[in-house]
């Protein structure tokens, strides 16, 4: 085995990789990753988008995308991603029983992540959105060392407690030279469905201040709306099930910002054509 750091190798067929990360748990990474992938596809019907759930301990993508079942293998023995709403998905959740915990130490997690990256026939994809687990540990390191990441989107709620961790998340990506595209302020404000009164349950505008501090921008502001949770739990993400709602529009605006901020894609083999 080669000594030293692994070499970064792009995933076959995938043009650009966007990671959705946080540092803090429970701020809505998976919800944002799912709706971001769907919104990118909705904004530009010509683009193909994939979704990789790298949260080995708490894979949420299967439920949110209403997908289940063991992936089939193709002739090359690669796993075929499961598809719903036009998005190709892969998750640890498809490979293990939903009820069993993965009580694994870091090394095993790394090898599982490798499989999810390399042993899947993603096919030609314009964008691969990766839903990261919380924290700044093995998975994040393995990802950034193994594949070129074109941009990271950091999700946080407005509270300082969440932002503290979001800062660390952003700092970690800077350390490994991954461009941070911006911050998403999730669960920013709650609007009472009965009277319309707005309450900032998790604080107000915290992300804007942190973004200024870190010389980043807030590229998305998603409200706390019961329909987002309801549609996530039922596997009908709001971006596709209620495309005209303000929530879906917020995700589409985010998708627009993300795509605009990605470095332009350079085909490494231009003479082969598109």
Partner 1 sequence: MALSPKADSAADNMSGVQHVVLILSGKGGVGKSTVAAQLALALRQAGKKVGILDVDLCGPSIPRMFDVEGHDVHQCPGGWVPVYPDQDQRLALMSIGFLLQARDDAVVWRGPKKNAMIKQFIGDVVWGELDYLIIDTPPGTSDEHISVVENVRQYSPDGAVLVTTPQGVAVGDVRRELTFCRKTKLPVLGVIENMSGFVCPHCTECTNVFSKGGGEALANQFNVPFLGCVPLDPQLTRSLEEGQRFVDAFPTSTAAQAIGRVAQTILQRGEQQENMDTS
> Using CB under 8 A as the criterion, which residues of the chain lie in contact with partner 1 when the complex forms?
23-27, 30, 57-58, 60, 63-64, 98-107, 109, 133-138, 140-141, 157, 159-162, 164-165, 167-169, 171-172, 175, 190, 192-195, 197, 199-203, 224, 226, 229-230, 232-233
Question: CB neighbours of 80 closer than 8 A, spacing ≥ 6?
Answer: 71, 72, 73, 74, 120, 121
Q: Where are the alpha helices (DSSP H) in the chain?
A: 29-43, 61-64, 106-118, 138-146, 160-175, 206-213, 226-233, 238-241, 246-261
Shortest spacing between CB 28 and partner 1, in angstroms = 8
Number of other CB atoms surrounding residue 169 within 10 Å: 26
CB 223 within 8 A of CB 198: no
Contact 231, 34 (CB under 8 A): no
User: Minimum distance between the CB of residue 152 and partner 1, rounded to whole angstroms?
Assistant: 13
In this complex, which beta carbon is closest to partner 1, that of residue 192 or of residue 260? 192
Q: Which is nearer to partner 1, 12 or 161 (CB)?
A: 161
Residue pair 149/71 in contact (Cβ under 8 Å)? The answer is: no
Q: How far apart are CA 20 and CA 129, in angstroms?
A: 7
Shortest Cβ distance from residue 134 to partner 1 (Å)? Answer: 4
74 vs 114, beta carbon nearer partner 1: 114
Question: Are 131 and 20 spatial neighbours (Cβ–Cβ below 8 Å)?
Answer: yes
Closer by beta carbon to partner 1, 196 or else 268: 196
Rounded to whole angstroms, the Cα distance separating 126 from 14 reads: 6
Start-to-end CA distance of the chain, whole Å, equals: 35
Minimum Å gap between C-beta 45 and partner 1 is 28
Nearer to partner 1, 173 or 251 (CB): 173
> Smallest gap, in angstroms, from Cβ of residue 216 to partner 1?
13
Which of 128, 162 has the CB closer to partner 1? 162
Task: Give whichever of 56 and 125 is closer to partner 1, judged by the CB atom.
Answer: 56
Count CB atoms within 10 A of the CB of residue 12: 13
- Residue 137 CB, shortest distance to partner 1, in Å, is 6
CB of 55 to partner 1, least distance (A): 9
């Amino acid at each position: 085995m080669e000594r030293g750091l692994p070499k970064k190798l792009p995933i076959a067929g995938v043009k650009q990789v966007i990671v959705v990360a946080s540092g803090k748990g429970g701020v809505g990474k998976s919800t944002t990753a799912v709706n971001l992938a769907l919104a990118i596809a909705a904004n530009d019907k010509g683009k193909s988008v994939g979704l990789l759930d790298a949260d080995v301990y708490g894979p949420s993508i299967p439920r949110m995308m209403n997908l289940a079942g063991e992936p089939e293998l193709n002739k090359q023995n690669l796993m075929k991603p499961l598809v719903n709403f036009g998005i190709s998905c892969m998750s640890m959740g498809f490979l293990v029983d939903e009820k069993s915990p993965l009580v694994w130490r870091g090394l095993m997690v790394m090898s599982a992540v490798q499989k999810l990256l390399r042993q899947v026939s993603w096919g030609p994809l314009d964008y691969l959105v990766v839903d990261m687990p919380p924290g700044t540990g093995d998975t994040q390191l393995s990802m950034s060392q193994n594949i070129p990441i074109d941009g990271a989107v950091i999700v946080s709620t407005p509270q300082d407690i969440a932002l503290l961790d979001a800062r660390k998340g952003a700092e970690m990506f800077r350390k490994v030279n991954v461009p941070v595209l911006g911050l998403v302020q999730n669960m920013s404000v709650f609007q009472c469905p009965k009277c319309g009164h707005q309450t900032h349950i998790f604080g107000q505008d915290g992300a804007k201040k942190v973004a200024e501090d870190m010389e980043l921008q807030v590229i998305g502001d998603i409200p706390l709306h019961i329909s987002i949770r309801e549609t996530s739990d039922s596997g009908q993400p709001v971006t596709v099930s209620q495309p005209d709602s303000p929530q879906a529009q917020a995700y589409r605006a985010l998708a627009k910002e993300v795509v605009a901020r990605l470095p332009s894609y350079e085909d490494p083999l231009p003479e082969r054509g598109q």
